[in-house]
């Protein structure tokens, strides 16, 4: 069975169609990525910036049968630095409570 490690700063819960938690992954460290904001001009008087990704930090090398839940920023930075991303997962299909707060997600997404 594959191992899933959550490298985001918060717990990730997977919920079924009835809202019941079917899996939960506590935070087990945090993988981050450097971000650099570069001016890209203006649009209708509003400043535009370009986000450039730097080195990842706290992201282990790929390991057989191990998957890592990471942020989209971390996944993009890993891809930009040439790291294989087949072991990186994103949360997908968020589920919200009646107040609009995210309580979990229905799926995990692969990086393509």
What's the pTM? 0.85
Q: How far apart are CA 32 and CA 9, in angstroms?
A: 10
Kindly tell me the number of DSSP H helices and DSSP E strands found in the chain: 1, 8
Q: Is the pLDDT of residue 112 over 80?
A: no
Give the tens place of pLDDT for each residue, 36-68: 899 999 999 999 999 888 899 999 999 999 999
Report domain extents, the chain.
3-32+58-110
How close are the terminal C-alpha atoms of the chain, in Å? 22
pLDDT at 19 over 90: no
Based on the number of CB atoms within 10 Å of its own CB, is 110 exposed (0-12), middle (13-18) or buried (19 or more)?
A: middle
According to the model, what pLDDT value does residue 10 have? 95
User: Does position 94 have pLDDT exceeding 90, yes or no?
Assistant: yes
């Amino acid at each position: 069975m594959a191992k899933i490690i959550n490298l985001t700063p918060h717990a990730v819960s997977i919920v079924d169609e009835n809202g019941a938690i079917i899996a939960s992954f506590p935070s087990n460290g945090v993988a981050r990525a450097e971000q650099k904001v570069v001016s890209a001009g203006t649009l209708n008087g509003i400043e535009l910036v370009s986000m450039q990704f730097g080195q990842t930090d706290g992201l282990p090398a790929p390991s057989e049968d191990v998957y890592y839940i990471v942020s989209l920023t971390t996944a993009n930075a890993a891809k930009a630095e040439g790291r294989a991303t087949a072991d990186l997962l994103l949360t997908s299909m968020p589920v919200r409570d009646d107040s609009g707060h995210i309580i979990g997600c229905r799926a995990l997404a692969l990086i393509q």
